[in-house]
């Protein structure tokens, strides 16, 4: 497995963890290199093998590569202005959609969004294995997305993601340069994992 080196972005983990987890990060600069359809299918294949409550698989994805202008243009219109500034030329754009109710009884699926997040994690780690990067986005115009793609009742547009090979960090709008170059940080393990009881500060 040949994973690119991003020494300034590599996760500085406290304990040894898998190289794919250390290498993944969310860039805003992507190279011009196109992502092959077959490669994308591999990433969606990984996504569909994520676990989900009752194996409902409530994830749906609308995607387009930059060379597919019709779908791509529609996806660009679904992004918030902030994200349009850096993501509107990414090689691939994806809109995630959540199926809100269980298929077997039409009752609300309380964890549907959680499962879609899990699928995106699977997608992202498979992407890392292919030297690809994924930058997820909450900044989405949800009503517009529903309208543009005619998303039916019972499904809701949820997040977006930009996917591609990494580009030159100097080659992005100035507002984003610092973020692209700065070290990544995380809370300490003790701040997020409490042994046996809720941690009081
Ligand atoms: C669900 C989700 C929504 C996000 N929304 C945005 C967004 O709208 N715009 C953006 O530039 N980054 C967005 N991000 C990227 C995060 O800011 C980024 O993952 C975080 O700062 C940690 O950095 P890292 O992914 O490089 O480790 C989002 C990430 C996730 C998982």
**Ligand 1 neighbour 25 (Cβ under 6 A):** yes
Test site for ligand 1: of 127, 138, 140, 145, most ligand atoms within 8 A of the Cβ: 138
**Ligand 1 neighbour 131 (Cβ under 6 A):** no
Q: What pLDDT is recorded for position 6?
A: 64
Q: What pLDDT is recorded for position 201?
A: 58
Q: What pLDDT is recorded for position 80?
A: 98
Distances (CA, A) of 195 to 186, 189, 191, 192, 199: 19, 11, 11, 10, 8
Q: What pLDDT is recorded for position 2?
A: 47
- Beta pairing partners, 108: 101
**How many whole angstroms from 37 Cα to the centroid of ligand 1?**
25
Q: What pLDDT is recorded for position 170?
A: 85
Q: What pLDDT is recorded for position 148?
A: 98
pLDDT tens string 122-147: 999 999 999 999 999 999 999 999 99
Q: How far apart are CA 36 and CA 57, in angstroms?
A: 25
Nearest atom in ligand 1 to 140's CA? 8
Query: Going from the N-terminus, what domains does the chain have, and what CATH number goes with each?
Result: 36-166 (3.40.109.10)
Kindly report the protein residue whose alpha carbon is nearest to atom 31 of ligand 1. Answer: 136
Using alpha carbons, select from 146, 40, 44, 49 the residue that is nearest to residue 97: 146
Owner of token pair 């009503």? 143
**How many whole angstroms from 94 Cα to the centroid of ligand 1?**
14
- Cβ contacts of 151 within 8 Å, gap of 6 or more: 97, 145, 157
Q: What pLDDT is recorded for position 135?
A: 98
pLDDT tens string 186-196: 999 999 999 99
Task: Please state the separation of Cα 140 from the chain's center in Å.
Answer: 13
Global pTM reads 0.96
**How many whole angstroms from 175 Cα to the centroid of ligand 1?**
16
**How many whole angstroms from 167 Cα to the centroid of ligand 1?**
17
The side-by-side arrangement of strands in the sheet containing 155-165 is: 59-65, 92-99, 155-165, 132-137
Using alpha carbons, select from 126, 128, 99 the residue that is nearest to residue 114: 99
Show the low-confidence residues of the chain (pLDDT under 70): 1-6, 201
């Amino acid at each position: 497995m040949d994973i690119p080196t991003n020494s300034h972005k590599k996760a500085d983990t406290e304990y040894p963890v898998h190289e794919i987890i250390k290498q993944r990060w969310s860039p805003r600069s992507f190279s011009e290199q196109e992502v092959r359809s077959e490669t994308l299918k591999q990433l969606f294949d990984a996504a569909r093998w994520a676990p989900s409550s009752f194996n409902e698989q409530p994830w749906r994805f609308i995607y387009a590569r930059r060379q597919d202008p019709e779908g791509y243009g529609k996806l660009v219109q679904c992004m918030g202005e902030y994200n349009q500034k850096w993501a509107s030329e990414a090689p691939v754009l994806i809109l995630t959609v959540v199926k809100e109710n269980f298929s077997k009884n039409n009752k609300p699926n309380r964890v549907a969004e959680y499962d879609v997040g899990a699928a995106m994690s699977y997608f992202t780690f498979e992407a890392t294995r292919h030297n690809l990067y994924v930058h997820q986005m909450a900044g989405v115009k949800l009503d517009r997305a529903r309208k543009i793609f005619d998303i039916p009742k019972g499904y809701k547009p949820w997040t977006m993601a930009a996917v591609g090979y990494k580009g030159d960090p100097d080659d992005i709008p100035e507002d984003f340069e610092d973020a692209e170059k700065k070290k990544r940080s995380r809370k300490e393990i003790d701040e997020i994992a409490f042994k046996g009881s809720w941690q009081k500060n």
